[in-house]
Structure 1
Amino acid sequence: MFKWLRKHEYDSSLFLFENSSYDKSFLNQLIELGVKVYFNIPCFKRSDEGKPSRIKLNLDKSKEIFFIYARFEDFLIAKKIETVNKEYKFTHFCYMLHPEALNPGTSQIRKQVIKKMWENNYINIMDKECYNSFLNKNEISNRDDSLALFPIGIDIPEVCPVKEKNRSIFRILSILRFDFPFKAYIFGLIDTFSNLFIHYPNIRLTIIGWGEGKKEINDYISALPMKAQKMIELLGPIDYIELDKYILKSDLYVGIGTTVLEAIKNGIPAIPVRDFSYECLTSGFFYEMPYVIHEDGYYEIKQYLEDVLNMSSAEYKCLIENCYLKLVANYKLDSIMTRILNISNKTGITITDKQMKTIMLRRHLSELKRIVFRKENYSWVKQSYEENN
């Protein structure tokens, strides 16, 4: 997105909140592109009544400022920045990238603000799963799907980079943050790989990951038969700019999120999988379901992996091309960015400090409850999975 903006002569800025985690090599790339980075922007805290830093912008006043953010809390900070920079014209694009991102919970104030954001074209949504979740949780009227849905745009090569199927060594790749149970599919993928390896000794599995759950993954792999262990490569963290090298070495990608898109644009077929499951479940190849995994109709990934392993070279190339064509149809950056930059907010939305304080206090309480619930739920799901395996 930043490259596209630079190419089309837009000035870009990135706001990084205090204690933000980020990839340094990726950040350096942005700085080289001319992106202005604001570091250590204070987040909301209970001690300051939800008031962020008063950021005074020093930009060309003749230009409109376009805010793109993904969380409700980012909207509040953006509104504060707007409040102290009234000499600029602002447009907001709140990009809902997760089904729970704009969940109002039981807060009536938050629900009212989200409703105003929706009615004034502030909120735009990545996919159908997020869209349905948003409508259900906020109890508001829907908009035309073609106007509300904005798939993530990526820079896609003009020609499909088709590769030959590797018949000597077939490499499966998955890239993820070790955040369980959110991305616990990796346990199911490891099990499936171990079972398939008995019949397909030429397969290999590369896992690139980072996060607190790495020891758990190490321990899980260590419990496999020794021959299967040796065929699994566990790496990470890897610099962002190095990831393409590993993607290009692979023959099939399995995972969640934007890494699926990155694989396909590099000519690697992909199978999106379900989150919050210790089994590796899918609704099909990317070209069969490019936005999200179905709410129902999950299948174990084993059959899909075997289908690819048994494909002829011609069938494998056809799979790559089908994934690529679906990627172009739904995620081409030019068309997505043009749509985004043509968004127009209907009216301004005013948020008082008192409303912010109430919203953020509720947020901190719900965050505490969520942490407790996730820990308890994680233990239960893990125990249930282990008992059944």
Structure 2
Amino acid sequence: MKILIINYKNLILGGIEHYLLYLIQNCLQKKFRIIWLTTDSPIVDNSFAKFVPRLEKVVVKRFGLKRFYKTPKIQINNDDEVIFISFSTYDFIFSERVCRKNKINAKLFYILPHFKGVNYYYEDCLKFGSVMYKIVVNHSKKFFNKLINNNSLFCFADKQVESINTRYDLNLSVEKIKIPPFEPVKNFDLPLVRCRFRSKPFTIISVGRFEFPHKGYLIGLIDAVATLIIDNYDINLKIVGHGPDKEKIMEKINSFPEYIKKHFIVLSPVSPLEIADVMNDVHMSISLAGAVSQAARNFLISVPVRHWSYSCECYGFLPESKANILSIEKGIDVKDIIKQVYKMDEASFILYSRKSYETFNLDIDQDFILNQKNVSLFRYNLIERISNSVFNSGVRLATFFSRKILKKYVY
């Protein structure tokens, strides 16, 4: 039997979950047994509701420090073909432990979802260039090299490959480790695009998790749209998503007078399988990462914006801005792009909608990760396991005490 093990806590909505939605759907159609490593009370979005009852839920118990888990027991037959995927550095190391303790011969894959962040790159919790930073980078380089040599590492986007190459002085090719498009592509719908152009009022959509400062652009986008409304532009902004910082979005919207507030519409998360319905009356999308390509595949003018910034800076139209769907580089004022689209004639609107669509109208491969093979079984020897455990604990403790000291004497 073919088995997929998913090592991921919650099934909500975001880039990783977008991928998992199609992967789970594909594997269930192929009669896979799917095991989901999660917690006692995971958060599950409605998008996954019809799939979750068909998954085998294995609860992972936490103990001690927040990121340490007890190894669960999983029953696998010797002749089963097992694929085990994780989405953070610690979770990948944990997946190796699960296999070792349960004597599972699995293909282990780490799908790297971001280009920065301590969950993926331990050195990001330290001061750049410090002695400790250099020690951690050296350790991380060895770890990622081992993954690469074993065909265990994959990425969602060019930017993540670039980040690995820059951090660890490597020369990875995008073609080798980038996961190809997995979302089915529809034929360009010209009547729908024409209908969108003629619909009123002019409507912008932004889809994503409310997680700041990573996606702080939403605060800047709300300010930009409010400014344009004051300047007599008839614009609505649909914000679709959820997350820990939803309250900040609502506070920002509620800070405006009623005649401005009514132009902002905050919607609960919508499944990628149903998002097209929400976009029917929308003129353009302003977002980042996977939401850029999602909007483009639904025939919208899709504009990528800057990560990790509370000002909304964008990079222009597709396809020229494709390289910036994951970027922290300074962009241009989003209001200028909104004004351009707002003032477009029908022919230009169709042209730029088609350009967005064609940027991501690529051949899909939903079986890509299923067809990959490791060079050998991924195993740490005893010294490596001890080293990594001590290293992981040391980095987290150093981060904790550093923040305490900074808070007391600097902030």
Scaled by the length of structure 1, what TM-score is found? 0.81
Structure-2 residue corresponding to 1:195 = 227
CA shift for structure 1 position 277 = 1.0
CA shift for structure 1 position 234 = 2.7
Unaligned runs of 5+ in 2: 1-22, 124-134
Structure-2 residue corresponding to 1:77 = 94
Cα distance in 1 for partners of 2:262, 2:66 equals: 52
> Which AA in structure 1 matches 2:167?
K
Select 2:297's aligned residue among 265, 270, 278.
Answer: 265
Structure-2 residue corresponding to 1:144 = 173
1:211-258 Cα deviation digits (max 9, x unpaired): 343333223223334422221123336677764432334222111232
Percent of counterpart pairs with the same letter?
Answer: 19
Structure-2 residue corresponding to 1:386 = none
SS at match of 2:372: coil
CA shift for structure 1 position 200 = 4.9
1:36-70 Cα deviation digits (max 9, x unpaired): 2324223574499x5632422335x4342112221
CA shift for structure 1 position 360 = 3.5
Cα distance in 1 for partners of 2:84, 2:229 equals: 49
Cα distance in 1 for partners of 2:255, 2:60 equals: 44
> Which AA in structure 2 matches 1:147?
K
Q: Does the 8 A contact of 1:174 with 1:255 survive in 2?
A: yes
Structure-2 residue corresponding to 1:29 = 50
Structure-1 residue corresponding to 2:60 = 41
Change (3 A) 1:371 1:307: farther
SS at match of 1:287: coil
Structure-1 residue corresponding to 2:26 = 4
> Which AA in structure 2 matches 1:354?
I
Cα distance in 1 for partners of 2:402, 2:203 equals: 37
1:273-302 Cα deviation digits (max 9, x unpaired): 111111111112243233534564611111
Structure-2 residue corresponding to 1:155 = 184
Q: Which has the higher contact order (CA 8 A, sep 6+)?
A: 1
Q: Does the 8 A contact of 1:163 with 1:317 survive in 2?
A: yes
In the comparison of the two structures, how many residue pairs are matched? 366
Change (3 A) 1:58 1:261: same
SS at match of 2:361: helix
CA shift for structure 1 position 144 = 2.7
1:3-38 Cα deviation digits (max 9, x unpaired): 23334x151524243267533423323236x4x232
Cα distance in 1 for partners of 2:401, 2:286 equals: 32
Select 1:53's aligned residue among 51, 55, 71.
Answer: 71
Cα distance in 1 for partners of 2:281, 2:242 equals: 20
Counterpart mapping for 1:281-296 below 5 A: 281-291=313-323, 292-294=325-327, 296=329
Select 1:95's aligned residue among 111, 114, 118.
Answer: 111
Change (3 A) 1:2 1:200: farther
Matched, 1:120 2:157: no
Matched, 1:365 2:382: no
Counterpart mapping for 1:273-352 below 5 A: 273-291=305-323, 292-294=325-327, 296=329, 298-329=331-362, 332-334=363-365, 337-351=366-380, 352=382
SS at match of 1:205: strand
> Which AA in structure 2 matches 1:348?
L
> Which AA in structure 1 matches 2:59?
N
Q: Does the 8 A contact of 1:248 with 1:266 survive in 2?
A: no
Q: Does the 8 A contact of 1:72 with 1:102 survive in 2?
A: yes
Change (3 A) 1:119 1:29: same
SS at match of 1:150: coil
Scaled by the length of structure 2, what TM-score is found? 0.77
Change (3 A) 1:24 1:189: closer
> Which AA in structure 1 matches 2:347?
A
SS at match of 1:81: helix
> Which AA in structure 1 matches 2:88?
R
Matched, 1:134 2:164: yes
Unaligned runs of 5+ in 1: 381-389
